[in-house]
Chains A and B, each alone.
Chain A
Amino acid sequence: GQNIDQPTEMTATEGAIVQINCTYQTSGFNGLFWYQQHAGEAPTFLSYNVLDGLEEKGRFSSFLSRSKGYSYLLLKELQMKDSASYLCAVEANAGNNRKLIWGLGTSLGVNP
């Protein structure tokens, strides 16, 4: 079956670093995405990994290990506005289509 696991909730302090882990088991793999979703809003794209390794983009970095079915999102220099839900999603094959298999999201709270 298709399964994405990530922690339900995390808290961290402003200015700190936090790592949000994601493990997956899917039929087929076309890439892994991280999205940020603030309450009441639609998701916004953060990162895309298809090859093993670390992708850095400003304060956010994302890592992928395909052999381990594992990814993490690293947030540095946390700001209050980073309080949001972080969604891990894997693009897998579904018949003739490709679709995203979604984790339930990790709710991150940033404290002053």
Chain B
Amino acid sequence: EAGVAQSPRYKIIEKRQSVAFWCNPISGHATLYWYQQILGQGPKLLIQFQNNGVVDDSQLPKDRFSAERLKGVDSTLKIQPAKLEDSAVYLCASSGRGRVEQYFGPGTRLTVT
């Protein structure tokens, strides 16, 4: 089966600009996660969706970050406006019904200058 797809793979923007990332989970996976991985650290959850509903967004900086999962399949994460400290790899993961392990996409490396 195809894995989790993410695009773009790399993005460079200036601070105060906006950026969007796209994720397509493994087919049939109801749960989708967005993580932020800052260099030298483990991934940190930003938001978790179950189908098209938000389960946990407690660590999402809602003043600048937003995410949606229309139709319960693919998802978009947006940052507006970006700050220097948003430079990180943004990872998308999904998990299937009755399965606890998550499967990760290749990530989007964001550099904010």
Chain A bound to chain B: no
- Chain A residues engaging chain B, CB cutoff 8 angstroms: none
B residues whose Cβ falls under 8 Å from a Cβ of A: none
